[in-house]
């Protein structure tokens, strides 16, 4: 049985999520190389050491570049804050490693292009952490669309809201720093954009309004600091295929915990999905008697692959971390040169292009056409 050596940068929210995925992908799917958890890096060497023991990695370091020179590391998971993605990804690709990099690609568009260039030159797999496209119920939406179940799509409405930045008393941290990007656009809008990219194709034009609910935040240790990012963004868009759309994101939305709500309207029906109810999708089809017209709810089941690899019983449900396990399996497929359902650095640049066009539209106070290469 072949094996593959893993390096991981970062041990926070996503660091743990990647570690869990690397631990689970073999047992869940049973058809991939044996995963060797080799080397874990965090800027804090003591934390790296503790987390290496907890996650099952053989060695740890306080310097992420140690992973680049480690011959046992073949793939590197990058889960450090956004500003580090370009240098980490480019140097790792140049060192011959495959990359699994968290979204967004980079705060600056030029850096995203440089990452894509490094991936092209290296010939290595370079996959982004757009886990929501992996939900079996999102794949079911894809199937509905391919089967023409709701006819021609003419309107898409998508929202992403959470409340982890809703409290004005919350301390300033890297997500309020301009080095992380625009704010809700890079942090949140990219996820809806990943669904749009996979389900409906590219966006042609956008207009945007960004908002900052709190102008400053307390700093841990004393004082206050001006917030440099926008936690709210409202976007109107037009798809290349012609449909109109609305994208709204808010990471200061009290009461919303993990909302990624999609409504798709077509000429003979509609589809409704929300990541907060991630094991369910609803479809409305025309053609039923008026008294029986309504949405049909479908619960996740083994008939929605790869649900059955996790649990054989329908309606029991997958969770957020399971999406990362599925993403990990697709990354391994891409590394093996097999078909893979992923957003790689090529598609990732399309998403970055849309994000920067949205920010430009906000500055311009008008519509911006997106030009693709």
Ligand X SMILES: NC(=O)c1ccc[n+]([C@@H]2O[C@H](COP(=O)([O-])OP(=O)(O)OC[C@H]3O[C@@H](n4cnc5c(N)ncnc54)[C@H](O)[C@@H]3O)[C@@H](O)[C@H]2O)c1
| Residues engaged in binding ligand X (CB under 6 A) | 9-15, 41-44, 64, 79-82, 84, 102-103, 129, 131, 187
CB 227 within 8 A of CB 182: no
Shortest distance, CB of residue 88 to ligand X, whole angstroms?
8
Shortest distance, CB of residue 25 to ligand X, whole angstroms?
16
Of 105 and 210, nearer to ligand X (C-beta) is 105
Shortest distance, CB of residue 9 to ligand X, whole angstroms?
5
Of 84 and 144, nearer to ligand X (C-beta) is 84
Shortest distance, CB of residue 30 to ligand X, whole angstroms?
25
Alpha-carbon gap, residue 326 to 46, rounded angstroms = 31
| Beta pairing, strands 368-369 & 269-274 | unpaired
Please report, for residues 22, 311, 320, the alpha-carbon distance to residue 30 in angstroms, rounded to integers and kept in the order given: 13, 14, 20
Give the DSSP H or E segment for 36.
strand 34-41
Alpha carbon of residue 339 to chain centroid: 19
Shortest distance, CB of residue 239 to ligand X, whole angstroms?
23
Nearest CA among 204, 213, 195 for reference residue 145: 195
Of 12 and 96, nearer to ligand X (C-beta) is 12
Of 64 and 144, nearer to ligand X (C-beta) is 64
Shortest distance, CB of residue 58 to ligand X, whole angstroms?
18
CB 303 within 8 A of CB 312: no
Shortest distance, CB of residue 295 to ligand X, whole angstroms?
27
Shortest distance, CB of residue 169 to ligand X, whole angstroms?
19
CB 92 within 8 A of CB 76: yes
Of 88 and 271, nearer to ligand X (C-beta) is 88
User: 163-178: string of b/e by CB count within 10 Å (b at 16+)?
Assistant: bebbeeeeebeebbbe
Of 42 and 177, nearer to ligand X (C-beta) is 42
| Beta pairing, strands 98-102 & 75-78 | parallel
Shortest distance, CB of residue 173 to ligand X, whole angstroms?
8
State the residue for tokens 């290296």: 122
Of 5 and 81, nearer to ligand X (C-beta) is 81
Alpha-carbon gap, residue 19 to 321, rounded angstroms = 10
Of 12 and 294, nearer to ligand X (C-beta) is 12
CB 19 within 8 A of CB 53: no
Q: Where are the alpha helices (DSSP H) in 263-310?
A: 307-310
Alpha-carbon gap, residue 306 to 340, rounded angstroms = 13
Of 119 and 343, nearer to ligand X (C-beta) is 343
Q: At 6, is the secondary structure helix, strand, or coil?
A: strand
Q: Where are the alpha helices (DSSP H) in the chain?
A: 13-29, 45-55, 65-68, 85-94, 109-122, 136-146, 184, 190-200, 307-310, 320-335, 345-364
Of 82 and 270, nearer to ligand X (C-beta) is 82
Radius of gyration of the chain measured on its C-alpha atoms? 21
**Count of CB atoms situated within 10 Å of the CB of 120:** 13
CB-closest chain residue to ligand X: 12
Shortest distance, CB of residue 158 to ligand X, whole angstroms?
16
């Amino acid at each position: 049985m072949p094996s593959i050596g893993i390096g991981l940068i970062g041990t926070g929210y996503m660091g743990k999520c990647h570690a869990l995925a690397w631990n689970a992908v073999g047992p869940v799917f049973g058809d991939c190389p044996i995963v060797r958890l080799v080397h874990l890096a965090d800027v804090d060497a003591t934390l790296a050491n503790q987390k290496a023991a907890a996650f099952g990695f053989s060695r740890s370091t306080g310097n992420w570049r140690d992973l680049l020179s480690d011959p046992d590391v073949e793939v590197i998971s990058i889960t450090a804050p956004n500003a580090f993605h370009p240098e980490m990804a480019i140097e790792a690709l140049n060192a011959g490693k495959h990359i699994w990099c968290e979204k967004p690609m980079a705060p600056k568009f030029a850096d995203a292009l440089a990452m894509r260039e490094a991936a092209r030159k290296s010939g290595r797999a370079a996959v982004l952490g757009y886990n929501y496209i992996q939900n079996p119920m999102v794949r079911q939406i894809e199937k509905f669309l391919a089967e023409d179940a709701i006819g021609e799509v003419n309107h898409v409405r998508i929202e992403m809201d959470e409340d982890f930045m809703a409290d004005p008393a919350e301390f300033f941290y890297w997500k309020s720093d301009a080095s992380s990007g625009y704010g809700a656009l890079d942090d949140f809008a990219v996820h809806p954009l990943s669904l749009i990219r996979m389900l409906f194709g590219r966006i042609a034009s956008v207009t945007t309004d960004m908002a900052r609910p709190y102008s400053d935040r307390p700093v841990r240790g004393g004082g206050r600091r001006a917030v440099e990012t926008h936690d709210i963004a409202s976007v109107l868009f037009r798809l290349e295929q012609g449909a109109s759309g609305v994208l709204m994101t808010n990471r200061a939305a009290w009461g919303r915990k993990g909302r990624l709500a999609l409504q798709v309207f077509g000429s003979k029906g509609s589809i409704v999905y929300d990541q907060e109810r991630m094991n369910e999708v609803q479809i409305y089809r025309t053609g039923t008697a008026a008294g029986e017209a309504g949405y049909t709810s479908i619960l996740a089941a083994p008939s929605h692959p790869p649900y059955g690899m996790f649990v054989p019983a329908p309606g029991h449900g997958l969770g957020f971390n399971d999406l990362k396990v599925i993403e990990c399996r697709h990354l391994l497929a891409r590394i093996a040169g097999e078909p893979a359902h992923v957003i790689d650095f090529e598609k990732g640049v399309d998403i970055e292009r849309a994000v920067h066009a949205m920010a430009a539209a906000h500055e311009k106070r008008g519509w911006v056409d997106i030009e693709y290469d």
